[in-house]
Chain A
Amino acid sequence: MNAIPDTMELVFQYPESLTKRNTHYCPGCTHGVIHRLVAEVLDELGVREQTIGVAPVGCSVLAYYYFNADFVEAPHGRAPAMATGIKRVNPDKIVFTYQGDGDLAAIGTNEIIHAAHRGELITTIFVNNAIYGMTGGQMAPTTLPGQKTTSSPFGRDPRIAGLPVHISEIMAAIPSVAYATRQSALDLPGINKTRKAIKRAFMTQQHGLGFSIVEVLSTCPTNWNLDPWAAMQWAKENMIPQFPLGDTRVSDEVAALKV
């Protein structure tokens, strides 16, 4: 790294916890933004070298190429179970899962609910983009009523497909969850808050306070058939009313953390 003159303050640099690889994400996809936030937090907490990540099945299946950390790749939805196995034999390591809404809120509901109930000392980053991105834009458990997808071509009909799954609210009801919050990666203030939430979640784990999860409202411009800017606007106007932002569960110990 170039030497920085004493008089200058370093305010921005490429996170060490990211590799230099170009991602395969579509232009405007928020997966890349969220990766960066996680990486910045790992850097800031100085835990990169003791971190083990668990990648999902979904667009972020190749997350292990982008994080400069040890990683494993889980079967669809099973990341919390794998993370459980990893953390229990490595109580001194930082273990996190990175999962999409199909992965976590459909096929993997059982695994996440029980990892949370056991109070596993892991952190879950839950990327909610209201769609199955990887498989070509099918309906997700989080797809909004009326939202058109390739498998709800007339719009999600609650009489056929029920209503969206609200993971952060479910987490709020689980006693061994120390920290659950829903944030968004849809504009700068949202991104800053998301970063802080991710930091709080990892600190929750570091201090052994319980299970922590950060849901991040995200976009999928490609499968929403919107340009990146319009996708951000669509999410703000439609997703936020359905999935209100904010903390749903903060234990007293987590509230006392200096983030």
Chain B
Amino acid sequence: MAKELLKGNEAFAEAAIRYGLEAYFGYPITPQSEALEHLARRMVEEDRVFIQAESELGAINMVYGAACCGVRTMTSTSGPGFSLMEEGLSYIAGSDVPAVVVNMQRGGPGLGNIQPSQSDYFLMVKSAGHGDFHPLVLAPASVQEIIDMMGLAFDLAEKYRTLVVIAGDGSLGQMMESAELPPMQPFPRPRPEWAVSGAKGRDPHIITSLDLSPEGLERMNLGFQAKLAEIQKHEIRWKEYETADAEILLVAYGTTGRICLSVMREARKQGLKVGLFRPQTLWPFPSARLNELSGQVRVMLAAEMNAGQMVEDVRLAVSGKVPVHFYGRMGGVVPLADEILAEVKKL
């Protein structure tokens, strides 16, 4: 397929269709509404399911229902909607069904604004709902990567029967870039054996997150933990740039990761040995590799569009071996490469 000029939100929406999305449920919120609008037209054209739900609670529970039937299903939202969805996310995690949520983060807390932000890191990575679980969180940094991660998200969700969150931000959703969409995959996809489909010639399938006995629920939790351990073992992803001889390591994901690439290049031009580490999975976090790098670099600088959230995981990863500094902007302010470079020069 040829490259086209694509807007982030439309790109992931169209990619989802091509990767076999069977049912989309969503509620309008800036800065992701173009995805919902794109799907409102395209899902109908493709004779698939699209519903504009009554709220994000409605949307995520429709996703939950469709997920119990084993189809590729998703929703997309931004911070205020993600907060509302957390009840459903927890049930999805508690019943081992696959689902995908895209969160195009905006400034918070409260209504905040509609500008790009990364202030939902804690929300997505650490507390996507009540109970002990983590979604698998993917962090794209370009329109092409959103497209590719859409397919990865469905594959991983199905492979592990888990919840996958794509952690975008307003600027990734709104930006236009040249990118390539995948070809249309065969559709409809076969449904898995475990799904609910009517108990025809077999015992009923029950999908629930409930177990009233403490021992039973602990067993269920051990199952979730075993699955998360498998994910941690096999699905950690990141990208490194110029780390071989780096003395200063920038750590940033998504849009900030992209800005830091410019920072790194400019710093190199000016003779500073700067490298960049860009996590592509926020959970599981690439802690082991960061820990290795902490034996080599002199100092790290985590940059985020928030008050310092991912930086906590960076510090945990290096466990005090090197100083980890932080630079962040909040409220929807996207940091300029020059600002971050100025911070680098102070280190």
Contacts and interface: CB of A to CB of B under 8 A. Distances in A.
Interface stretch (B10-18, B53-61, B119-127): B53-61
B25 interface: yes
B197 interface: yes
Contact of A111 (B54, B73, B197, B198): B54
Contact of A88 (B51, B59, B206): B51
B23 A81 contact: no
Interface residues of A, number: 37
Interface in B62-100: 62-69, 71, 73, 87-88, 91, 95
B204 interface: yes
B44 interface: no
Given A72-B65, A84-B65, A89-B22, A78 B199 contact: no
Interface string A93-135: 1100000000000000011011000100000000000000000
A78 B209 contact: no
Interface stretch (A2-10, A43-51, A183-191, A251-259): A43-51
A51 B198 contact: yes
A82 B207 CA distance: 12
Contact of A75 (B91, B199, B207): B91
Contacts of B61: 74-75, 78, 81-82, 85, 111
A70 B88 contact: no
B49 A110 contact: no
B210 interface: yes
Given A85-B61, A88-B51, A88-B66, A73 B199 contact: no
A90 B49 CA distance: 10
A85 B199 contact: no
A85 B64 contact: yes
A47 to B, nearest CB: 9
B141 to A, nearest CB: 31
Interface stretch (A61-69, A205-213, A216-224): A61-69
B196 A52 contact: yes
A140 interface: no
Nearest to A55: B208
Contacts of A51: 198-199
A203 interface: no
Interface residues of B, number: 39
A176 to B, nearest CB: 14
Interface centre among B197, B199, B209, B210 (most CB of A within 10 A): B199
B301 to A, nearest CB: 41
A89 B208 contact: no
B201 interface: yes
A250 B197 CA distance: 30
Given A75-B91, A89-B71, A110-B57, A70 B196 contact: yes
Contact of B207 (A71, A85, A90, A111): A71
A206 to B, nearest CB: 14
Contacts of B55: 110
A88 B23 contact: yes
B204 A85 contact: no
B204 A81 contact: no
A85 B23 contact: yes
B200 A73 contact: no
Given A70-B206, A72-B65, A81 B53 contact: yes
A141 B40 CA distance: 36
Given A61-B210, A84-B62, A111-B54, A69 B197 contact: no
A82 B54 contact: no
A83 interface: yes
Contacts of B91: 74-75
A83 B25 CA distance: 13
Given A68-B204, A88-B23, A114 B54 contact: yes
A145 B70 CA distance: 45
25 contacts: A51-B198, A52-B196, A52-B197, A67-B204, A69-B204, A71-B196, A71-B205, A72-B95, A75-B61, A78-B58, A78-B61, A81-B58, A81-B61, A82-B65, A84-B62, A85-B63, A86-B69, A88-B23, A88-B51, A88-B66, A89-B73, A93-B198, A94-B198, A114-B58, A118-B51
Given A81-B61, A111-B54, 17 more contacts: A52-B196, A52-B197, A52-B198, A64-B206, A64-B208, A72-B65, A73-B207, A75-B64, A84-B51, A85-B23, A85-B69, A88-B51, A89-B49, A110-B55, A110-B58, A111-B58, A118-B51
Which 4 A-B residue pairs are closest in the complex by CB-CB distance?
A: A85-B65, A81-B61, A82-B65, A73-B208
